Amino acid sequence: MTDEPTAKRRRIFSGMQPSGEAHLGNFLGALKPWVELQEQHDCIWCIVDDHAITSGSDPKELPRRTFDLAVSYLAVGLDPEKAILFVQSDVAEHTELAWLFNAVTPVGDLERMTQYKDKSQQFESVPAGILNYPILQAADILLYRADAVPVGEDQRQHLELTRDIARKWNAAYGDYFPEPEGLIGTVGRIVGLDGNAKMSKSLGNTVGILADPDEIWGRVRTAVTDPQRVKRNDPGRPEVCNVYTLHGHLTDPLRVEEIADQCRTAEIGCVDCKRILAESISETFAPMRERAEHFRRRPDEVRDVLDHGAERARAIARETIGEVRERMGLDWRSAVPSG
């Protein structure tokens, strides 16, 4: 009898912009899968503050938001003993590699990015950072020679560009960078409480993961449900109700089936369904709120985690940059005769 083959251990990289405390969409779409991935793979989780300034940011708010996101990382269960946690700007090799990748990245490829087309409409004079954002994203991933990246559908195009940059660089300077695979299944599109757009703090259609029960209920009670269910005794259609979809992520599976049956037969109304969801969210967030309070009272622990993570990240990054510089002819000392 032979043993079952073990899953391949991979190096995985991902990051999140520092917008402060993480929210429900971040948790369901990214952070929860990250916690699961770190149990089986070599994971590197970054707070990408260099990305946050590509179109301008408030220099007074950015440090606080970075710290708050770090607390959220730790609160949800990202473990510095199992993964590397750090802040992007603490590892200068990210921006150095992004500059070097400019040498192999056609401007036309950048201009075709859907996010560039969308975001550039917001500016009278488009910052170069908006155009070059995907190059820095590629550098983030390839600096650690990651072979897998958990991404949502909206980042799929950027990942393809990362793979293309790796191919072009390898063709020019020799095979070195992997072409990372997208772990699309680990990150889904979480629709906000408005039932329409993707969950976003800026749209106000979500709830912070550290919110207390009253705040959670205050947000969930505004959630959009089945538009055809006007009266309490109208039969509902859980398959088209976003509140019911969220139950699938947060509520006990047996209870979810029961809610669907009771909704269809009008045994429970939309308010009842929302209240159960608010309770499920509150129960999910309770241990996170407790851990977050621990770290907020001990900010030095958070700094130590990020500093140690940056040291570990730099050790990998220096090796990569050393190889890249040598292959690109930037190691001029090799041409200087000794003696």
Residue 149: enclosing H or E segment and its boundaries?
strand 148-149
The label of the residue with tokens 């045994």 reads 267
The Cα 258–Cα 263 span in angstroms is 8
Residue 47: enclosing H or E segment and its boundaries?
strand 42-47
Query: CA–CA separation, 312 vs 276, rounded Å?
Result: 43
**Residue 298: how many other CB atoms lie within 10 Å:** 11
As a whole number of angstroms, the distance between CA 185 and CA 264 comes to 30
Distance CA 275, CA 266 (A): 16
> What are the CA-CA distances from residue 315 to residues 80, 81, 84, 91, 147 (Å)?
16, 17, 12, 10, 18
Are 12 and 150 in contact, with CB atoms under 8 Å apart? yes
Reading the block at residue 134, the tokens are: 């995907």
**Quick check: 298 and 74 in contact, CB under 8 A?**
no
Q: Which residues are catalytic?
A: 119, 198, 201
**∠ CA(304), CA(305), CA(306), 5° rounding?**
90
Identify the CA nearest to 97 among candidates 139, 130, 61. Answer: 139
